[in-house]
Structure 1
Amino acid sequence: MRVLLVEDDELIGQGIVAGLRKHGIAVHHVCTAAAAETAQMEDTFQALVLDLGLPDRDGMQLLSSMRSFEPDLPILILSARDAIEHRLTGLQGGADDYLVKPFDLRELAARLHALVRRTQGRAAQAIAAGPLRLEPDSGLAWLDGESVTLSRREVDLLVHLAAADGRWVLPDALNERLYGLGEAINSNALNVHIHNIRRKLGAEAIETARGLGYRLGWRLTP
């Protein structure tokens, strides 16, 4: 399991990273909301552990942003705000669980494993195409049986191409599905994602045709 930890206290963060590692959980630790959003865009995580007292933005605002980006991502709030009102606000605001500081690392690990098990239980069907196997919800991918690390955007792009079932997809349609209508898009962002996918999976992973757009380079396996 790979978890994103958003904790502004460096010492507490290091302790959580070391403690969860003993329970088989890999942790990527960031200290700000901005760094958390960048990490979410560039990597794939099975859960998020979120402290509410961040230096650059309120944790509840970040929770809303990350939940809208990945609706099914398990999110656990880890906070010193222990009043029942705080816990209710966190859970009603989109968190799946709430753990008050100070806490036992064994309990944190157990709660994370439980959250991820629930997510996997409702996971979408895996995509198999040529040498690629992809689990859309977890973001896990394998090429010829070897694990491949894909960012969330790369996973989403492959899912959308697979859904087209061999049809060409125009760049504008892909951008709309990846980013939505209200999000600012770097003009070169789609090309960057496609370049990275081809680098990781091979040039044949995505086909391009002028005027038609893109499509998955492999046929889906029933």
Structure 2
Amino acid sequence: MKTLLLLHGAIGSSAQLEMLKKKLESSYKVYTFNLPGHGGTALPQEFSIPTFANIARTYIRLEGLSSISIVGYSMGGYVAMYLARHYPGFVEKVVTLATKFEWDEAIAAREVKMLQPDVIEQKLPAFAKTLEERHAPEDWKQVLDKTKDMLLGLGKHNELSLEDYTFIRTPVQLLLGDRDKMVGLEETLAVYKQLPNAQLGILPGTPHPIEQVDAELLAFHVRRFIG
């Protein structure tokens, strides 16, 4: 049985991927874990894509996993692509969903505006409560602050340039929801065209939040690609 690792997105946790995990467990050995500072794990000194990629790499090695494929949602997909770029052969296949690839200072500045704790508490109290519970006992506001720093850092230096994708020989499937307001089709297509061995899929009626993604539809695409 093949092995899959599911990676969650920024300010998220592995719990958000439980529904997808259940859909895939009959076909694969499925693993999930919380990246540092997420889902109640201790806050690291900094959030960064290289840091998260190294943590994922360490997790895979400590679990003794081999011939592993990664399904990454949003930031999790970026982490998976970083691993495929910098550690050739380490990952068998990669599936990304709703992963933002294009970063510059203007994009980063726009994204961090949505990560203001005070605004979230005032305008989205239910979401603030969700974040508080998701990251307890750590302070969810610190999680947001570190995420903002990471995004601003990506705005100054995108960890993966378009040229980087030409070096990724790992088979990749890029999935995007047709109603995703955070990730654009053009940036996804730009990466797709650079990848030597890639597939592109559009999920109908699908916005960015993982909670609004049809887990059965996503599992179908994963199974069809991973085999």
The two structures share one fold, judged by TM-score above 0.5:
no
Whose helix proportion is higher, 1 or 2?
Answer: 2
User: Higher relative contact order by CA 8 Å / sep ≥ 6: 1 or 2?
Assistant: 2
Q: Who wins on radius of gyration, i.e. which is larger? A: 1
Q: TM-score, normalised by structure 1?
A: 0.40
Whose strand proportion is higher, 1 or 2?
Answer: 1
